[in-house]
């Protein structure tokens, strides 16, 4: 019989919170600049790492209004892993976090018709903070406002892709930029015709 007094308690599994991030592209061609900022040293999740604007889904996001909805193919890809109500909330969260963290806006209510969907990344078990994050992409021409961060992201600006890739990026961020590079090589028709979504799960990229 095992000595229960010496058995370490099993750590509770932290549930991954639904989240959304937005890649804002500036410039044409195969390597546009990306809107990114540095998370401060005090953050529990990915401190001192360059990231895209984004954050957790809030309860009001599920019922928030939009000026224009996400394209049908984006909604369909999202609904492979969630219900329509959550899919809507994810788009709203991406727009809301963009405005909160950067001062840039897609309108009030937001126009999500320029969104496309790159994929998602799920933080592996074991960490104190976990996210099930969906990554959207939109062109900077769809956005208005003056770039003025809230302080949550430092060094907030458009980073040329090559410059961003040369920095010490977290692996999920680097993987998402890799997915963006593939997306940039597609024609609009090819993007609309996608039927599978890349997912980073257990540090491996799979399709769903």
Cis peptide before 109 (omega within 30 of 0): yes
98 is a domain residue: yes
164 is a domain residue: yes
182 is a domain residue: yes
Q: Does pTM surpass 0.95?
A: no
With CA atoms as reference, report the closest residue to 137 among 49, 64, 45, 54: 54
2 is a domain residue: no
Domain count across the chain:
1
194 is a domain residue: yes
In 3-state terms, the chain is what percent helix, strand and coil (to 5)?
A: 30, 30, 40
Q: Which tens digits make up the pLDDT trace of 185-200?
A: 999 999 999 989 999 9
1 is a domain residue: no
150 is a domain residue: yes
Q: Which tens digits make up the pLDDT trace of 103-156?
A: 999 999 999 999 999 999 999 888 788 999 999 999 999 999 999 877 778 889
Length of the chain, please? 208
109 is a domain residue: yes
SS3 4: helix
Q: What is the CATH number of the domain that holds 59?
A: 3.90.79.10
With the C-alpha atoms ordered 163, 53, 121, 114, is the resulting torsion angle positive or negative? negative
């Amino acid at each position: 019989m095992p000595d229960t007094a010496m058995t370490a308690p099993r750590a509770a599994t932290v549930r991954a919170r639904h989240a959304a991030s937005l890649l804002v592209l500036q410039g044409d061609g195969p390597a546009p600049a990306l809107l990114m900022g540095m998370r401060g040293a005090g953050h529990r999740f990915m401190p001192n790492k360059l990231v895209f604007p984004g954050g957790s889904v809030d309860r009001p996001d599920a019922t928030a209004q939009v000026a224009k909805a996400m394209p049908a193919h984006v909604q369909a890809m999202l609904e492979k892993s969630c219900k329509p109500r959550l899919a809507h909330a994810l788009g709203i969260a991406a727009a809301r976090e963009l405005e909160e963290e950067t001062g840039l806006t897609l309108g009030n209510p937001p126009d999500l018709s320029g969104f496309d969907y790159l994929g998602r990344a799920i933080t592996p078990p074991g960490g104190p903070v976990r996210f099930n994050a969906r990554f959207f992409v939109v062109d900077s021409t769809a956005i208005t406002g003056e770039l003025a961060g809230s302080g949550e992201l430092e060094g907030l600006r458009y980073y040329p892709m090559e410059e961003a890739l040369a920095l010490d990026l977290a692996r999920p961020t680097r993987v998402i930029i890799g997915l963006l590079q593939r997306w940039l090589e597609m024609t609009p028709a090819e993007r609309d015709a996608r039927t599978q979504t890349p997912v980073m799960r257990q540090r491996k990229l799979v399709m769903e």
